[in-house]
Amino acid sequence: MKISARNQLAGTVAAVKEGAVNGVVTIKVGDHTIKSDITMEAIKDLGLIEGKKAIAIIKASNVLIAAGSERIDTISARNQFPGTVAKVEKGAVNGHVAIEIADGAKITASVTNEAIEDLGLVEGAAAVAIVKATDVLVAVD
């Protein structure tokens, strides 16, 4: 499978919480868990059960970045990955910032150059990649 989404994190389904219309799938990737809020139809079609291999897919434009090394407990986004800025590539208006998290995986965000400057996002700086569960797609082989 080839797709344009920069963030493709392979792991194993750790839990599935079923709801009437949507469910929350938790995928264990290294030392981290990623939560995805998807439809029950998708959960059943993909055969998502505990122990199944799955890939969390996140578009770079859906990744927010906070400066610093601490999770933010006062926002609704459940997926927060503290790490270190590994790479910054600026374009004419927007840039890409790759955050390396504890297990060596990287999460890339597409943000404005202004945000890169304002947050002091330079290689080696502490940062947190933040993703809402509704922005995480799930794929299986």
3-state secondary structure 3-37: CCCCEEEEEEEEEEECCCCEEEEEEEECCEEEEEE
- For residues 81 and 123, state if they share a domain: yes
In the prediction, which pLDDT does 103 show?
84
- For residues 13 and 41, state if they share a domain: yes
pLDDT in tens, 68-124: 999 999 999 999 999 999 999 999 999 999 999 988 899 999 999 999 999 999 999
- For residues 51 and 81, state if they share a domain: no
Provide the number of structural domains found in the chain: 2
- For residues 49 and 88, state if they share a domain: no
Q: Domain containing 18: what range?
A: 7-58+133-139
- For residues 126 and 66, state if they share a domain: yes
Confidence band for 1, pLDDT divided at 50, 70 and 90: confident
- For residues 20 and 52, state if they share a domain: yes
Domain assignment present for 89: yes
Domain assignment present for 2: no
